[in-house]
Amino acid sequence: MEYVDESRALDANGLVCMDVWSRSFDLLYRKSDQLYHEIAVNCGISENAYWLMYVIYTCGDTAPMRELVERCCSPKQTVASSLRALEGKGYVEISFCEGSRKNKQVSFTETGREFARTQIVPANIAERRAFQTLEPVERAEMLRLVEKYAAAIEQELANMKGRDK
């Protein structure tokens, strides 16, 4: 990865020029996205379905529907559609949360647990191993900076929406 002195690579608006941007953070983001897409394709499911299985696994094989929507950062309709596909493959079952006639939860079936064991767990272990190649201070700094960046993007997009009105 090529890093450029940004002070010499600004556009007329004082922003990192597109050429530098497309060769730096944007490329890293796309590469990461491509890696997860390949994982999902190799598993034989969609990316959305992969992330749902991942979240269910990290929640201990059962997760409330609202948590899936929140943690997958996907619209409720997208989550519901992907869950129907996973249910059709026999990986998950959807039921009402105990004592509720409104809130649903999603649980792995035996087939889903086996899928998670052979597909999700190895990818999760690989992710954690990769993360641990960073020093503890680097891990903390990475998380801090990515969180700060995501919050800034969220604010900029909210500002754009406000200008559209």
Q: What is the mean pLDDT of each run of 10 residues along the chain (165 residues)?
A: 60 77 77 90 92 95 93 91 95 90 92 96 94 95 92 92 70
- What tokens does 144 get? 């801090």
Q: What is the pLDDT of residue 30?
A: 86
Predicted pLDDT at 56: 96
Which residues does residue 96 pair with via DSSP β-bridges, in sequence order?
Answer: 104
- 138 beta partners: none
Task: Describe the strand order of the beta sheet including 92-96 as a list of residue ranges.
Answer: 62-64, 104-108, 92-96
Q: What is the pLDDT of residue 61?
A: 95
0.85 exceeded by the pTM? no
Tokens 């680097």 belong to 138
Structure token pair of residue 91? 């990986």
